């Protein structure tokens, strides 16, 4: 049984999860917030599930072992799917370094008939280490931390993402525009 609200839902009110994966300091969060602003201006319901905020509030207590990273991604995927199923465009700028974790999130979305798009922010580690937004690369180089994704911990880049953004070769606005174009092509914007 559908409600009047569901039957009157336009294509722009259709929810989706847009997962931005990539190395630390690749530009995932910056692109997500740029796109979120544009989508809100167009009247879309949008949420950004920032990986740092999720770790603080939803996944507090988890470490960075493979199992903990998988649990973190699964939790984020659950929340994203729930929001997307209710008409929200959910932008998820989260590293999610392991292909099997991302695939599990994709399968959960498919099982619920919720749109899931994977975007690889494919910034080379050399560029990320120069950007070093949080100082992680410097700490790793100084021996203060270990397990940095893409340096001394694995990152499995998506083989066939819905979109690959090379943020080091374009502006934030151009990256967000490319992602907006994908959403438009898929009838989501």
Q: Is 167 exposed, middle or buried (0-12, 13-18, 19+ CB in 10 A)?
A: buried
28 annotated ligand binder? yes
22 annotated ligand binder? yes
43 annotated ligand binder? no
| DSSP letter assigned to residue 13 | G
149 annotated ligand binder? no
- β-strand pairing of 89-93 with 16-21: parallel
117 annotated ligand binder? no
List, in sequence order, every residue forming a beta bridge with 17; answer none if it has no partner: 90, 116
Task: For residues 179 and 133, give the distance between their C-alpha atoms in angstroms, rounded to a whole number.
Answer: 22
Q: What is the C-alpha end-to-end distance of the chain, expressed in Å? A: 26
147 annotated ligand binder? no
Residues of each annotated binding site for ATP: 22-29
Residues annotated within a binding site: 22-29
């Amino acid at each position: 049984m559908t409600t009047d609200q569901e039957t009157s839902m336009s294509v722009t009110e259709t929810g989706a999860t847009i997962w931005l994966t990539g190395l630390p300091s690749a530009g995932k969060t910056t692109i997500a917030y740029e796109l979120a602003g544009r989508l809100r201006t167009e009247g879309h319901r949008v949420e950004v599930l920032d990986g740092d905020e999720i770790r603080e509030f939803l996944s507090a207590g988890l470490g960075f072992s493979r199992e903990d990273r998988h649990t973190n991604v699964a939790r984020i995927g659950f929340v994203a799917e729930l929001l997307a199923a209710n008409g929200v465009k959910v932008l998820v700028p989260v590293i999610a370094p392991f292909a099997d974790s991302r695939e599990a999130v994709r399968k959960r979305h498919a099982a619920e008939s919720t749109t899931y798009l994977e975007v690889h922010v494919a910034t080379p580690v050399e560029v990320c280490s120069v950007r070093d937004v949080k100082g992680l690369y410097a700490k790793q180089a100084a021996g203060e931390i270990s397990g940095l994704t893409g340096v001394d911990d694995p990152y499995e880049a998506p083989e066939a993402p819905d979109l690959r953004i090379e943020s080091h070769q374009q502006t934030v606005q151009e990256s967000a525009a490319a992602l907006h174009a994908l959403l438009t092509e898929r009838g989501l914007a």
